[in-house]
Amino acid sequence: MPLYSIKMRASKGDLHVSGAERIIPQADISSAVSALTERALHHGLGRADFINVKMEEVAPEKLQYLDALPVSKRPADTVEETYKIMKKMLCELGLEAKADALIDLLRHNHPIRGAVLYDVATNSRLEPDHERGIRVTYMDAEGAASNCSGKNHFREAIVLATKVVNAPGIIAELCLSDDPDYLVGYLASLKHGYVRLMPMKEMGNPHGGRVFIFDSTKAKAEDAINYLEKQRVLVRGLPVEKPANPNPEQIFADELKQLKEQNLYRSLRTMDSEQSKYIEMQGRKVLMLASNSYLDLAADTRVKQAAAEAALQWGAGSGGSRLTTGNTALHEALESKLAQFKGTEAALVFNTGYMANVGIISALCNSESVIFSDEYNHASIIDGARLSKARIVVYKHNDMQDLGAKILATPCSRGLIVSDAVFSMDGDIVDLPALVALGQKYHLLTMIDEAHATGVIGKTGHGTVEHFGNTVRPDILMGTLSKALGAEGGYACASKVIIEYLKNKARSFIFATSQTPATLAAALRAIEVLKEEPQRAQNLQHNVEFFLNALHAEGVEAYSPTAIIPIIIGDEKSALQVADELLANGVLAPAIRYPTVAKGTARLRVALMATHTEAELSQTAKLIGAAIRKYKK
């Protein structure tokens, strides 16, 4: 039976989107073409507007059969650690003097369609066309299934790598995928086999590259290029996909066991009282040093009374989504109050802060958009960006120079800059004036997440805009009702146009039963209390300054301009021991570990309240200092 080579190349304007190879029997042509076309139309880089499919017969005698490279993997905790591993392997190939330059070429070279052919003998690039690069074609796995529309990065990469390292004069291949959602790359050589390396970049980063390391003393460049671009190859002996586990739950049990061994297992604590500065837990009275109820409004009698009265008047639940039967006067009163409080034209409430971010971002952005996101942004922002199918560009934490450079390098007609206002694990504050200025300069929407800013910063607790003197305002102020305001829910404050758009496009708003009357009434009353008693926010800010000074007096390094004070311990085990020691002494300050924070930066995440006293904070600082001296390595 004759075999046919099918090559698909897809692009969107000048951007290469997808490419794939198949060598298959005639009977599979129809299904293969359909699958490859679907792949081009549903790609992380966007929907292709040009798809080219080329098909030609392959004579059996022109096929070369190669054994697949053996596969191994070298996972790391960080991107930089991954490249240290890659450098070590390059040194093992006798490339000590070239390793840094090769890695830099992989990570930072201007994107091209194919691969760089780098000659280590002359330190020069040998591709005839530097914009096109070297395109490896005519290859597949022996007996490959052709009816799968999803991309199997792993198997396709092994096929390509096997062909590359068998080409004349090739020492190794380095690969970094341009798929923004795929963080795994590899080094391949006859010495090492196919070594999977991860992570090679941050999630959402679309940069990719491929470098063929060549030695012109071993072969002619034209012979290598001719082999890579014209030799028909089938690769045999690829790793077999694992069969389905007859006990699917065992997979989860094994992962849970591993988490326990790594001191990363999480469990629930049961509180036996309302959330205030003291709580009842396991039959003990404990000082709460981890609550997001920064102003202690979750336990405020007036706020609780408003919730109780609303439940009696309006019922326990809302009965439907806002766009069907679940819209009440309470919803509209809260939105009016929020818009007034934040100084915007309109507002919209969501059931949670998480749902607000997911709904706002996925509604305002699409596959034509670019989202510029701070590397420390909350998970809800990250998930909203992924759901939008936009191109995601991650900039260095609160680094406006890096943000500006990445905006220049990624021109777009529709874009969003999004950042936490107060970062939830470090407590630092976004550089709002610079962020807004960049948005205005490059005609991008700007959005900040004020979950940990409202009630916490600003002279009267109004948040980030007030903190910066009411001189700048982003297009969207997102926030929560569940932290300083002590209730539950999320919101967006923006122009009337944006709010109306969200009502019609935000799926987490449209398809969710609306908030209960009790939570709405509690949030309404909490805003009123904050406006009536701005000294609550001022007390909180005083407590931050006092507690930091008390920690420093104990030799504990800590800094924060907000109520979130990270105390870095380092390794996960020590952080847990410090937290347990504090709990034994009547203070709840949980350890925060990977993956919430990077490995090696496990910490106590202290969250202060306006009602903490100086005596309580002074004693707590002493306990923290003693525990750290006892357990920190």
What positions carry a catalytic annotation? 424, 452, 483
Q: Which residues contact 397 (CB under 8 A, 6 or more apart)?
A: 374, 375, 376, 423
Exposure string over 99-112, b if 16+ CB within 10 A, otherwise e: beebbebbbebeeb
Question: What does the DSSP 8-state code read for residue 553?
Answer: H
Are the C-beta atoms of 182 and 156 separated by less than 8 Å?
A: no
Q: Which amino acid is at 474?
A: P
Strand-pairing partners, residue 496, are: none
**For residues 415 and 256, what is the distance between their CA atoms, to the nearest angstrom?**
40
CA 70-73-78 angle, to 5 degrees, is: 155
Q: Which residues contact 211 (CB under 8 A, 6 or more apart)?
A: 102, 105, 106, 109, 115, 116, 118, 173, 174, 175
**For residues 289 and 45, what is the distance between their CA atoms, to the nearest angstrom?**
44
- Backbone angles phi and psi of 16, in degrees to 5: -70, 130
What six digits make up the tokens of 327?
Answer: 């819209």
What six digits make up the tokens of 321?
Answer: 């989504």
DSSP β-ladder status, 591-592 and 278-281: unpaired
Count CA atoms within 13 Å of residue 354 on its CB side.
3
Cis peptide upstream of residue 70 (ω within 30 degrees of 0) = no
**For residues 206 and 113, what is the distance between their CA atoms, to the nearest angstrom?**
14
**For residues 154 and 161, what is the distance between their CA atoms, to the nearest angstrom?**
11
The CA–CA distances, whole Å, from 559 to 351, 530, 565 equal 33, 26, 7
Give the strands of the sheet with 170-176, arranged side by side: 71-75, 193-198, 185-189, 170-176, 209-214, 116-119, 124-125
Q: Which residues contact 372 (CB under 8 A, 6 or more apart)?
A: 393, 395, 403, 406, 407, 410, 415, 416, 417, 418, 444
Q: Which residue has the tokens 């061994």?
A: 261
Q: Which amino acid is at 208?
A: G
Are the C-beta atoms of 509 and 327 separated by less than 8 Å?
A: no
